[in-house]
């Protein structure tokens, strides 16, 4: 369909997260987590359609999750609440 992207079905949960972040609806992409000043704190691969990421090392606060392919990307806001 016109205007659809591979990221239309991407869901990150739970949000706010405590120790684990789940990414569903996409696979075969890269994921990065940035703090609000743009420092990249995590980079990894989304290999399955339900990927789990350990975020227990992140302090409470606001972050951005970037999920990207070769041609597209989506950025979602993430809250860590401890």
How do residues 35-81 score in pLDDT, each as one tens digit? 999 999 999 999 988 999 999 999 999 999 999 998 899 999 999 99
Both structure tokens of 48: 């399955």
What's the rounded mean pLDDT across residues 7-27?
Answer: 93
Which residues partner with 72 through β-bridges? none
Which pLDDT value is given to residue 2?
Answer: 57
Kindly report the number of other CB atoms within 10 A of residue 64's CB atom.
Answer: 15
CB–CB of 55/65 below 8 Å?
no
Which pLDDT value is given to residue 82?
Answer: 86
């Amino acid at each position: 369909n016109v205007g659809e992207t591979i990221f239309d079905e991407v869901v990150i949960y739970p949000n706010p997260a405590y120790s684990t972040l789940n990414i569903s609806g996409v696979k075969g992409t890269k994921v990065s987590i940035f703090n609000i000043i743009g420092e990249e704190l995590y980079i990894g691969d989304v290999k399955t359609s339900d990927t789990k990421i350990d975020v227990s090392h992140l302090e409470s606060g606001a972050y951005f999750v970037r999920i990207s392919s070769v041609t597209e990307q989506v950025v979602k806001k993430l809250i860590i609440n401890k």
